[in-house]
Amino acid sequence: MQNLKWDRPTRLLHLGLVTTVSVQLLLSLVMKAPGARAHTALEVFTYQVHRYIGLVALAVVLLHWVWSVTTRGRATVRNLFPTTAQQRTRVMTELRGMFAKQIPDSATAGGVTGLVHGLGLLAVTAVALTGGVLFVWWPEIGKPDALTHTLGDVHSALSNFVWAYWIAHGGIALLHHYLGHDTLRNMFVLERN
pLDDT per residue as tens digits for the range 63-113? 999 999 998 777 788 888 888 888 888 888 888 887 787 776 655 667 887
- Give the model's confidence band at 1: pLDDT under 50 very low, under 70 low, under 90 confident, else very high: very low
One-letter identity of residue 128: A
- Give the model's confidence band at 135: pLDDT under 50 very low, under 70 low, under 90 confident, else very high: very high
Query: Residue 173 contacts by C-beta under 8 Å, 6 or more apart in sequence?
Result: 106, 183, 184
Quote the distance between the C-alpha of residue 81 and its chain's center.
15
What DSSP string describes the chain? ----SS-HHHHHHHHHHHHHHHHHHHHHTT---SSSS---HHHHHHHHHHHHHHHHHHHHHHHHHHHHHH--STT-GGGTS--SHHHHHHHHHHHHHHHTT-PPPTTSSSHHHHHHHHHHHHHHHHHHHHHHHHHHHS-SSSPPPHHHHHHHHHHHHHHHHHHHHHHHHHHHHHHHHHTT--HHHHHH--S--
d(CA 30, CA 126): 22
The pLDDT assigned to 174 comes to 79
Conformation bin of residue 123: beta by default, left when phi > 0, alpha when psi is -120 to 50? alpha
Q: How many CB atoms lie within 10 A of CB 115?
A: 20
One-letter identity of residue 85: A
- pLDDT above 70 covers a percentage of the chain that reads 83
What separation in angstroms does the CA of 99 have from each of 93, 110, 168? 10, 19, 17
Q: Which one is predicted more confidently, 157 or 73?
A: 157
The pLDDT assigned to 2 comes to 40
pTM of the predicted model as reported, rounded to 2 decimal places:
0.81
The pLDDT assigned to 22 comes to 96
pLDDT digits (tens, 9 = 90+) for 175-186: 777 777 666 666
Closest CA relative to residue 35, chosen from 120, 141, 188: 141
- Give the model's confidence band at 46: pLDDT under 50 very low, under 70 low, under 90 confident, else very high: very high
pLDDT digits (tens, 9 = 90+) for 50-63: 999 999 999 999 99
Q: How many CB atoms lie within 10 A of CB 103?
A: 15
